[in-house]
Structure 1
Amino acid sequence: MLNGKTVVVTGAARGLGRDIAIACGRHGATLILGDILEKQGLETAARLTADGVATRFIPVDLGDPESIASFGRDIAANEGTVHGLVNNAAIATNVGGAKLEDIDIELWDRVMRVNVRGTWLMTRALSPLLPEGARIVNMASDTALWGPPRLLAYVTSKGAVISMTRSMAREFGPRGIGVVALAPGIMKNEATDYVPAERHREYETRRAVPGPQFPEDIVDIVAFMLTPHALPLTGQVIATDAGFTFN
């Protein structure tokens, strides 16, 4: 499905990003992994390489514009072309935590720097490397579709990613490049261990298909969105939460 394609996945050191990278590698992609977690990122790259997937890890901090620009320059110098970009890197904070009047301003700004500005800057850095037929997948969240309380910074940032996706689809469309947003719900993995048990239970009982959801339930959807077949979906936000929300 992705044979001959070079795919960049951010936030790929662990959790959903790692599993997206594994799925893309299984479908034949050459992988470039980016994450601020260098030790774990190198371990993920080594695991994929051992499985026969051409993989390279580049450390990157989505909160630092120069780090993102350096990431782009590295890829331009070494690969030259990127056929798929998965903007997965993000930070989630105060899940089930602070009310809107209690959110720390610096925390708010950090979430926006990484989740919103970081997604824009990563796309900007790699834009010159995207040929006709390339695909961009922005990982949003179904929280932006239903608006849970005590999660305002994260929900706002993911709502911005959805709006950004629509505008990007218009800008990249004339180049034959598709852009979509996926909006998963809470999944069971090590990256969500901090989420309160009641929030996990809420998702598991209110999904149209009840029960927990795992990264492996959605990673092949991400891989499909990187193929030529996904172009008719450009600009769309697709909830991938087993029917917790309907969009």
Structure 2
Amino acid sequence: MSDGMLAGRRIMITGAARGLGRQIASAAAAAGAQLVLSDILQDELATTAAALRGEGHAVEDLYIDQADPDSIEQGMARVAADGPLDGLVNNAALATNVGGKTMHEYDQDLWDRVMQVNVRGVWLMTRAAVPLLKGGDRRGKVVNMASDTALWGAPRLMAYVASKGAVISMSRAMARELGSDNICVNVVAPGLTRVEATEYVPQERWDYYAAGRSLAGEQQADDVDGTVLYLLSGWSDFVSGQVIPVNGGFVFN
């Protein structure tokens, strides 16, 4: 189904070293995209990029610390030096070990760190990518990865939930502002997905999701990538400002 749907498109994916980002990168490569992958996890990113190159795909990889505006600026300058982009997937986020405490117990420094990476980082990455996305023959695509936790208000995960709610609201504002630049901005909100970043999640949360889904089964990374590819492709050229939960029917939007 996805073969060739991104052929000739240069797509940047952040947080691509492992987990959901790695799965999206693999699917986009299989769909014909030329990839620019970034992450703070340099060794794991190099391994992911090397594996995709070994399969014959065109892949660039670079270090970007999304909490550091200078790192974003320098990294995106390198991306720009090699040409325009057709799509940006803002997948990088701080998700590991950010939950488990009530709003009264939450550490302020951790709150600030989550907001730096998950909210400010998405804004700065998108802002830096806009000149590379506009002006082409086809629409530029921005896909911001949120979470269905922001749609149902998951407890004991306050900063993460707030950050992903901000991503949803910010994306709608971006869609309004960037439409005149021929850029679509949409959001994918996955449910609890079995990847490295969720290894710390307690079993009761997995059980809660399993009991509440319309579709049986534990969510895997490859349950999400098809929706992302659709939003990066020409098939979604008249879709912007939308939030698509991909969670097996745990939350309806």
Residue-by-residue CA offset, 1:192-246 (whole Å, 9 max, x unaligned): 1111111111111210002101011110110111012213320011111010000
Give how far 1:188 is off: 1.1
Aligned partner (choices 138, 152, 166) of residue 144 of structure 2:
138
Aligned partner (choices 157, 166, 172) of residue 166 of structure 1:
172
Structure 2 counterpart of 1:30 = 34
RMSD: 1.0
Structure 1 counterpart of 2:68 = 64
Contact 2:15 2:91 in 1 (8 A): yes
Percent identity between matched residues is 52
1:52 aligns with 2:56: yes
1:214 aligns with 2:220: yes
CA distance in 1, matches of 2:189, 2:129: 23
> What number of residue pairs does the alignment pair up?
246
TM-score by structure 1 length? 0.97
CA distance in 2, matches of 1:102, 1:50: 47
Structure 2 counterpart of 1:147 = 153
- Return the letter of the residue paired with 1:47: A
Aligned partner (choices 110, 114, 122) of residue 111 of structure 1:
114
Contact 1:7 1:31 in 2 (8 A): yes
Unaligned runs of at least 5 residues, structure 2: none
Structure 1 counterpart of 2:205 = 199
TM-score by structure 2 length? 0.95
CA distance in 1, matches of 2:198, 2:155: 18
Runs of 4+ deviating beyond 4 Å: 93-96
Residue-by-residue CA offset, 1:151-187 (whole Å, 9 max, x unaligned): 1100000000000110000111112211100100011
CA distance in 1, matches of 2:98, 2:81: 40
Structure 2 counterpart of 1:127 = 130
- Return the letter of the residue paired with 2:41: L
Give how far 1:97 is off: 0.8
SS in 1 for 2:88: strand
CA distance in 2, matches of 1:65, 1:96: 25
SS in 2 for 1:56: strand
- Return the letter of the residue paired with 1:121: L
Question: 155-164 vs 181-190, which deviates more?
Answer: 181-190
CA distance in 1, matches of 2:163, 2:141: 22
Give how far 1:112 is off: 0.1
Unaligned runs of at least 5 residues, structure 1: none
SS in 2 for 1:242: coil
Aligned partner (choices 226, 232, 244) of residue 226 of structure 1:
232
